[in-house]
């Protein structure tokens, strides 16, 4: 998606340690008009696919997922990061490792909101090592719903996540795939 790539080049900041900061338009300050274009693009890509629900994960996936959902006319469910030691009742759960924070957290989705007849599209802002997406896919499988595919805004294509998920037969569509990046070179798209 050219509009998005142009925006990453213009406003993204590549930092040492494999960090791409896009918080001026994607995940801290959110450009809603850009999100609308992202929503139209995912609708185009998943044309003809019946989708009944969008699933995402807190916090930075939620805004994008809600705007995207308007083009599919479906509700959004977001997986919550469970921070207490007690697990609530009546939930699907999965363990998700965060390389950024060096932690493992438990994500939960109420059993009320994913059913076997649901056809689910996962939406998230980033795909790198794929842990969040794998956790969401696991929850969908637990529920008996069908995972139609994933819509990712930015994929770090040089990390293992996308490849591993596609190898499992999961459809993963990313609007901007980064081949390499560094503070010196900036971002090079695949």
By CB under 8 A, is residue 140 in contact with a copy of itself?
A: no
**Interaction with a copy of itself in 49-88: which residues (CB under 8 A)?**
58-59, 62-63, 65-67, 69-70, 73-78, 80, 83-84
Cβ(172)–Cβ(153) below 8 Å: no
Query: Could you tell me the smallest distance in angstroms from the CB atom of residue 166 to a copy of itself?
Result: 28
By CB under 8 A, is residue 112 in contact with a copy of itself?
A: yes
As to burial, measured by CB atoms within 10 angstroms (0-12 exposed, 13-18 middle, 19+ buried), residue 42 is buried
By CB under 8 A, is residue 33 in contact with a copy of itself?
A: yes
Task: Please give the C-alpha separations between residue 177 and each of 127, 145, 150, 158, 186, in angstroms, as whole numbers.
Answer: 9, 28, 14, 9, 14
Using DSSP bridges, classify how beta strands 76-82 and 103-110 pair: parallel, antiparallel or unpaired: antiparallel
* Interface residue list for a copy of itself (CB under 8 A): 23-25, 28-33, 35-36, 58-59, 62-63, 65-67, 69-70, 73-78, 80, 83-84, 101, 109-110, 112-113
């Amino acid at each position: 998606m050219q509009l998005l790539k142009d925006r990453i080049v213009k406003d993204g900041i590549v930092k040492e340690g494999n960090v791409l900061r896009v918080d001026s338009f994607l995940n801290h300050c959110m450009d809603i008009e850009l999100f609308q274009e992202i929503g139209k693009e995912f609708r185009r890509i998943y044309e003809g696919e019946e989708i009944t629900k969008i699933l995402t994960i807190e916090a930075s996936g939620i805004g994008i997922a809600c705007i995207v959902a308007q083009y599919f006319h479906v509700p959004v469910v977001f997986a919550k990061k469970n921070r207490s030691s007690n697990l609530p009742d009546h939930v699907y759960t999965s363990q998700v490792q965060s390389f950024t924070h060096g932690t493992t957290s438990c994500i939960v989705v109420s059993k009320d909101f994913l059913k076997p007849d649901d056809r689910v599209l996962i939406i998230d802002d980033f795909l790198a090592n794929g842990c969040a997406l794998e956790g969401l896919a696991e929850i969908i499988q637990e529920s008996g719903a069908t995972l139609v595919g994933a819509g990712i805004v930015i994929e770090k294509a040089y990390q293992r996540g996308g490849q591993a998920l596609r190898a499992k037969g999961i459809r993963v569509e990313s609007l901007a795939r980064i081949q390499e990046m560094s503070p010196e070179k900036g971002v090079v798209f695949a």
